[in-house]
A and B are shown apart, each in its own frame.
Chain A
Amino acid sequence: MIFKFALLFLAYFGSCDDDFDIPELGSSLKASYKLMHSYDGKNWEERGTITITSHGDKRRKPLISIKNHSFNKEKLDLDGLYYVGIYKDEDSKLLIQSAIRTCNLVAADLLDNVSVYLDLEKGQILAVNYQASLAGCAYSTSAAFPQTTMEVGMVKEALKPIYTLPKVEDPQEQQSFFRKYWWVFLIGFFIMMNSAGNPQAQGQGQAQG
């Protein structure tokens, strides 16, 4: 009976480090951000709205959606860059921005992808990756309005060293020159043997012919 209690006590209060720590639960988040864009990197205007919903669990990817409101294809500087950005948070004046070559966006028929890196604890935008969905460079497209896919950039968890019983490895033996290149000498020997014999053989053949 005492033994059972001791086990229960250990199970309840005992702590140990293992490789299967459950990530801490952060606070859940539902927030909207303005997606800004610029055709020249100087004048910014609102392009759409992004909504992010997080469940407060680091293991689950937050949900993200976008609604584009305004875009004018004619304003694109085809030889320059096209910029998108999101303010770090509601009160911040820091625009977290990214850009692509406009011709990349045109080549992808205005199909673009926005990845957002977040500080889920504070609901702040940390980084924006902006890419065209297809590779290439073009200067005209029939598409008039961007079709955007969105995702939340996730952290890749690093592995831990995987332990098995270590084995001692022998350092590679330095091979001697001859042991390493014996085959070169062998080939050389045969070539010389042939070259020494052939002229006579040819001469003999001609004489016989």
Chain B
Amino acid sequence: MWWILALFVTVSGIYEDQVGEYDWSLSHIGKVSYFAPASSGRYIVATERGIIAGLRSNGKAEWRKIVSKLDNPVLITSSSNFIATFSDNQVSVFTPHDGTLQWTKGIHDVLDIKIVALSMKEYLCLQKSQEIEVLELSTGESSRVFSLGNVVKIIGANDGEIEVQAKEEILTIWTINIKTGKTEKVSGSLKGKQFCLKNACVSQDKDKVEIYEKGKFFVKEWKGKNIEKTINNSNYALTEDHEVYEIKENYRKIVAAGPGIFSAGEDELFWISPSSTEFILIIYSINEGTSKQAKVIYKEKLPQIEHFWGFLTQKGEFVGFLTLSDFSFTCFTSTEIKWVREEGLGHLKHVYFAELPNKALHHSNDYVSAIKQDNSWVKSPFNFLLRLKIQLQSFSLWLEGKSKIDEEKELIQDVFGINKLILGVSASNYIFALQSLYKNTVWKKSFIEYGEFYQLVQTGIEEILLIFKENTNIKLVWILSTSGETIKTETIKDFDLLEAIILDKTEKPGVLLVSNSLKVKNVTKDVKAENIYFYKIDPKENTIFGYKIIGENSHLVWSMALSAQEEIKAFATEKESKIHQPAIATGTSRLIYKHDDANMFALATIKSSDLYIYVINGVSGSILAKLRQEGVSGSVNLVLHENKLIGHYWNSKYSRYEMIAGEFFDSQVDTSATHVLASYYEGTFEDKYSSFDLANPIIFTQTYAFPGGIKDMKVTRTLQGITTPDLVMILNTNQVYTLNLKWLSARRKQEEDKTEGIFDQPNLPIYKPNLPLVQHNILTYYMNLDGLEQLEITWTLLESTSLAVAYGLDFFVVRVMPEKSFDILTREFSRSTIVMTILGLILLNVVVERYFSYKTQRNNFKQ
């Protein structure tokens, strides 16, 4: 009876697919370059990624629109009723409250746009190289086109006429009367540097200025220094010694400020002067001639300020907005920072995963560093005592009830190894660290001082190496993964980097740097670098060279050239994984062997309209396969996983997307497992191989039609590689889709094909030319994500689960479980039923035992 108790073991389980629990996303707009306050406390912004958006007062995006295409430049102007944009030869007008498109019109060669209000009606003025076109803003109907020759800027409206600055040596203004269609040109008399402001223009020639206001020119003596620039959307000009002047007939000096950034309100002038972690804000009231000063503390080191907008609300409270050099968009008041949008994450170029320290290691760091320093037998008792001390400390904390670790703050690995550090390298020259389990940015670090980012490698439990290129020098920066703090830096001078080789993706991988002159530098000196081969693809010269590292030099082993007309489209390698299941039992008493070659890489090229896919051994340079598909154009995506090759392309001949699948097998086939077991026990089982010794594989290929275009694809990775992987794809529709690799086998047989081949696998699905697009395999379900471009996938400690990150503009993190059930409890899993069943079985056991005991006693009594 007691042995039943031995059946009870503790298990951990998590529920499958829970919306928002197994995935999270961040929505971005990009680096803000235009800002305008709108009604009801909303703000209108436009960004360098070609997006316009309406933000709420809490910083959340109420709506956002990609004006034409992501990253296309956008010209924007707005009024209280409309937002007008020009992008990709298209003028569009939206409503500010919900971003609804009012009208759109194809117009070429627009250099600038401006909304001008004339007698209760708004017009959209389009500045072209030689003419001004005026459209009615509400309908988009073209009112007039005015040929004015070269113009500089549309100034605005004055007395029912539109004023335009002409491109002349002397300050010259065109006036356009919309009603009559009459144009008039007026010129001043002074040659000099010209500036046009909100309602006036000025031309400065040393100590004289000529001011244009309301159709008239006034020549005046200038008492200030040279005018350097104007303050946006105002009549204020800034001199080179930071003095601000109001430009009008009788110009006046407003203030003499120090170096800083200005923004203009209705009757106020805002000035900020940043320092290390704070900035001083001064609000000048122009009419009253007073000023107020405030200090705003920034939460960390303040990045450089690129744009500043400020205004007073209807209640008279100041609200300011900053675009910083890390691309963040920050809202602040005169007392505090209100919110920050981390828009640097909307410009990610690379994403890496880093392992977090586990609970034991994290809380015993003293112990880990002690054993790292000296783990000799003399020192081991002391190390043991140190460990004991730490354990006792943890225990005492537990007794005090303080053991509940705030994982979000402490940055530790969870039980399932799902919590990883996601390191995103942004175009803003910042690295952002996020936790995969939590939707938070843990730290960000500027690398602008180090040079051009090249590579990131985790070199220790809490140590990350960043490699930067700075002209012909290399900068190595070691940082703490949990805080981003710099541990040490090293500069390697006169080393023109050709390749950084990461030797082994274990806990402490080695890193070798190879220069263009083939010199080798071992960055991690405690890791031996022997018998290392690498290759370099040169897309400019269309060549590939394979090298062997011997000592401190590299030697050329193999070389190949592509045809001059071939254009390299895609590259895939599977360096990071090894084949976990080398053989496949086909179900017909046969064992077939995958072509076990971790040094394979694949290259896709297009020559005229032919797609070529090369599969090459990177050590020996042997071409294992060269496939050709006709009628291909556009982008190509490639994936290599174990012995499988998958390519996705557009077949222009048949106007459809296709996927090519290839599988590589050894020619050896075993009819039973006895041979393998015997050789294993006899010690003759060989699990090592040489790339120079590998026999050519048997290749199977098949082609399928796929119902959509994709931007990137990767195969899921699991800890042991037992789980049948999924192919994860970012579709052109910005949806993340998974497809099990069994659908992409090159050995799926047609229904009518009854022949039996040696490499047949009965559990593969019957061949169908169309690959399925099943709605419930869309991992982004109903989410409206934009600009997802690239994908990275890593493993977790749950064999069933991989972690995928799709990034670009938006950021999407999801757990992918190709074979959902085996180590995860389903949502329907009934704990009560299993407990009741076990209890029932125990009860049954007792009853049966009693019954047989009674029966035996009765039989014995009868005898």
Contact = CB atoms under 8 A, between A and B. Distances in A.
Q: Which of B626, B834, B841 has the most CB of A within 10 A?
A: B626
A85 B561 CA distance: 12
Interface of B: 543, 548, 555-564, 611-612, 620-623, 625-630, 653-654, 658, 660, 690, 692-693, 695, 699, 701-705, 750-751, 767-770, 772, 774, 776, 821, 826, 828-830, 833-834, 837, 841, 844-845, 848-849, 852-853, 856, 859-860
Given A88-B561, A158-B701, A171-B774, A98 B628 contact: no
A161 B563 contact: no
Contacts of B564: 122
Contacts of A83: 557
Nearest to A156: B627
A37 B791 CA distance: 44
A155 B626 contact: yes
Q: Is the interface of A mostly helix, strand, loop or mixed?
A: mixed
Given A176-B828, A200-B852, A158 B660 contact: yes
Closest 6 CB pairs of A and B: A161-B769, A127-B560, A158-B629, A196-B849, A200-B856, A196-B848
Q: Which of B558, B690, B834 has the most CB of A within 10 A?
A: B558
Interface size band for A: 35 or more
A41 B563 contact: no
A39 to B, nearest CB: 13
A76 interface: no
Contacts of A129: 621-623
A131 B620 CA distance: 9
Contacts of B699: 156
B748 to A, nearest CB: 11
A31 interface: no
Contacts of A98: 557-558, 620-622
B703 A127 contact: no
Given A156-B625, A158-B660, A207 B693 contact: no
Contacts of A166: 768-770
Given A99-B558, A189-B841, A192-B844, A124 B623 contact: no
A160 B630 CA distance: 10
Given A155-B626, A156-B626, A99 B560 contact: no
A127 B561 contact: yes
Given A158-B629, A196-B848, A122 B692 contact: no
Contact of A131 (B543, B622, B627, B774): B622
Nearest to B825: A177
B75 to A, nearest CB: 44
Nearest to B706: A161
Given A104-B693, A156-B625, 8 more contacts: A96-B561, A97-B557, A126-B562, A156-B626, A162-B750, A192-B845, A197-B848, A200-B856
B561 A94 contact: yes
Interface string A163-184: 1101101010010111000000
A112 to B, nearest CB: 12
Contact of A96 (B559, B660, B859): B559
Contacts of A128: 558, 560
Contacts of B562: 126
A155 B612 CA distance: 9
B626 A117 contact: yes
Contact of A95 (B559, B627, B660, B690): B559
A153 B856 CA distance: 82
Q: Which of A115, A158, A192, A201 has the most CB of B within 10 A?
A: A158
Contacts of B703: 158-161
A189 to B, nearest CB: 7
A43 interface: no
Contacts of B559: 85, 94-97
B541 to A, nearest CB: 9
A208 B275 CA distance: 100
A174 B629 CA distance: 39
A167 B765 CA distance: 13
Given A97-B556, A98-B622, A104 B692 contact: yes
Contact of A101 (B612, B692, B860): B692
A135 interface: yes
A26 interface: no
A22 B751 CA distance: 29
Given A98-B558, A196-B848, A162 B628 contact: no
Contacts of A178: 833
A21 interface: yes
A127 B559 CA distance: 7
Contacts of A159: 701-703
Contacts of A81: 548, 557
A193 interface: yes
Contacts of A171: 774, 776
Contacts of A176: 828
A135 B695 CA distance: 8
A197 B852 contact: yes
A169 B853 contact: no
Contact of A161 (B561, B693, B705): B705
A100 B622 CA distance: 10
A74 interface: no
A189 B837 CA distance: 11
A21 B627 contact: no
Given A97-B556, A161-B705, A161-B769, A155 B621 contact: no
A164 B623 contact: no
Nearest to B542: A126
Contacts of B772: 169
A201 B856 CA distance: 8
8 contacts: A81-B548, A94-B543, A96-B561, A117-B560, A126-B562, A129-B622, A158-B701, A163-B769
Contacts of A104: 690, 692-693
Nearest to B656: A161
A207 B856 CA distance: 12
Nearest to A113: B696
Given A99-B620, A155-B628, A192-B841, A161 B558 contact: no
Q: Which of A131, A160, A204 has the most CB of B within 10 A?
A: A160
A190 B860 CA distance: 25
Contacts of B658: 161
B314 to A, nearest CB: 57
A158 B658 CA distance: 11
B46 to A, nearest CB: 44
A198 to B, nearest CB: 9
Interface string A84-97: 01001000001111
Nearest to B629: A158
A162 B766 CA distance: 12
Contacts of A169: 772
B551 to A, nearest CB: 14
A171 B690 CA distance: 43
B751 to A, nearest CB: 8
B630 A126 contact: no
Given A81-B557, A155-B628, A160-B703, A101 B848 contact: no
Interface string A126-139: 11110100011100
A185 interface: yes
Contacts of B548: 81
A60 B186 CA distance: 79
B561 A99 contact: no
